[in-house]
Amino acid sequence: MATAKEEGAVPDFLRMDADVDSIPAKLDRKGDWYGWPSTDVKPVTLLDDLGRTVRIRTPVMDLEGLITPTNLHYTVQHFDVPDIVPTDKWSLTINGEVKTPLNLSFDELRRFPGRSVRTVMECSGSDATFFEYFQGKGPKPSRTQECMILSASEWTGVPLATVLNEAGLTDKSLFIRAEGWDHGLPATAAEGTQPFFYDKGLAVHKALHPDTILAWAQNSQLLEHLHGAPVRLLVPGWSGNWSVKWLRRLEVMDHMPDCWYHYQFYYYADSPDASDKELITTIGVKSIITNPNDDTERMSAGPHMIRGYAWSGAGTITQVEVSVNGGETWAAAHIEPPNDRFMWVRWSYRWEAGKAGDYTIMSRATDEVGRIQSREPRYNNMRKNFSAIVGYPVKVK
């Protein structure tokens, strides 16, 4: 009997042993596929020597709705992905400036009342190549082709405040050093720097915000290893690097700990030696256009829905505007509900593309605290947190 393969019915990339990366981005479809599962939407991935996915970039431009499916949610980690610690071997130490140091097992952590938080998560390195593009030193990046370090999920866990309250805070409990068990040495570390565990020192005011949680689930399922299982910190509104994965210790301190990723990596300044380095915390106010996607060069005359996302780390989005003439004039876009704190929003603008000619499409977001998305990026030595308005030239014919 002929096998399916010999008959040519099963393409190579659908075989069980196929390399995930060999799946073509767009299937060469024949006939009517309407309603059938699609492989059109696919992340960009990096595999390790064993063929396991260790990095994911999200196809933001190709998705609908607000929640990024977990398998498409980006992942970033600075060191090698650490070994898995099974939940029954895992515990969380809470010590330092607390009344009662704690050591909580996974089951004990889950005995506290839970909380779910929907939040956009953006890596500080997202869109970094736009800095070179704006300076005329690089090609225009394609968010469609390269995918993004930007996603949104519903996370479930327990408020960090609940656990800190159990340990008991004092006047001296000012910073919470969250430590993962991934260990390494950054390539750019100064000579003599010793390998260390990834850590961040969260200021107590943010640590006590009820939406800052110790998360054990993402999008209704227990955390996957790449996202920090069994438990990670989740700091909504702040740059992704604060949300420490593979959490094993919370050290409460009376001063800000000297974490390497504070003033050696996630900071704003003109140079590494600057005396006025500013720690990156809250993410910017930003919007991106997803339709038409950023590879679009031509559009027909007639009605088009220009759509996209907008978000801010500092408050909800209060306004999104669209310009089709490179920022000369702006018109209000419609904000599509829901518009939740910490989440991104969908927005849309119906554009009647009339006369043939050249247009430049842009979007501009404003947030609750009055921040307006800027035309010029905030240049900084580490190329972090690009959030400026990008113009997309299109020809209408």
Ligand X SMILES: Nc1nc2c(c(=O)[nH]1)N[C@H]1C(S)=C(S)[C@@H](COP(=O)(O)O)O[C@H]1N2
CB of 70 to ligand X, least distance (A): 10
Q: Please say which residue, 42 or 245, places its beta carbon nearer to ligand X.
A: 245
Look at residue 130 and give the partner it binds from Mo ion, ligand X, none, a contact being a CB closer than 5 to 8 Å depending on partner kind.
Answer: none
Look up residue 39 and give its two tokens.
């492989």
Q: Least separation, in Å, of the C-beta of 125 and Mo ion? A: 6
Residue by residue, DSSP assigns 134-160 as HTTSSPPP-HHHH-BSEEEEEEEEEEH
C-beta neighbour count of 134 within 10 angstroms: 17
Indicate whether 198 belongs to the interface with ligand X (CB under 6 A): yes
Residue 246: CB minimum distance to ligand X, A: 5
Which range touches Mo ion (CB under 5 A), out of 89-97, 175-183, 234-242, 346-354?
234-242
Beta carbons of 178 and 250 less than 8 angstroms apart:
yes
Q: How far is the CB of 118 from ligand X (least distance, A)?
A: 15
Q: Give the whole-angstrom CA distance, residue 143 versus residue 288.
A: 10
Collapsed DSSP state (helix, strand, coil) of residue 1: coil
CB nearer to ligand X: pick between 104 and 121: 121
Integer Cα distance of 276 and 372 in angstroms: 24
Nearer to Mo ion, 77 or 173 (CB): 77
Give the shortest CB-130-to-Mo ion separation in angstroms. 16
User: For residues 172 and 253, what is the distance between their CA atoms, to the nearest angstrom?
Assistant: 7
Q: Is 240 in the site for Mo ion (CB under 5 A)?
A: yes
Supply φ then ψ for residue 255, to 5 degrees.
Answer: -150, 165
227 is a contact residue toward ligand X (CB under 6 A): yes
Number of residues that bind ligand X (CB under 6 A): 19
Select from 264, 324, 315, 256 the least CA-distant residue to 286: 315
Distance, CA of 349 to CA of 335 (rounded, Å)? 9
Please report whether residue 180 would count as binding ligand X according to CB under 6 A.
yes
Cα 332 from Cα 83, distance rounded (Å): 49
Using CB under 5 A as the binding rule, whether residue 333 contacts Mo ion is answered as no
Among Mo ion, ligand X, none, the one that 74 touches (CB under a kind-dependent 5 to 8 A) is: ligand X
Of 42, 143, 206, 245, the residue at the interface with ligand X (CB under 6 A) is: 245
Two structure tokens written together for 48 = 């390790």
Q: Which residues bind ligand X (CB under 6 A)?
A: 73-78, 121, 123, 180, 182, 198, 227-228, 240-241, 243-246
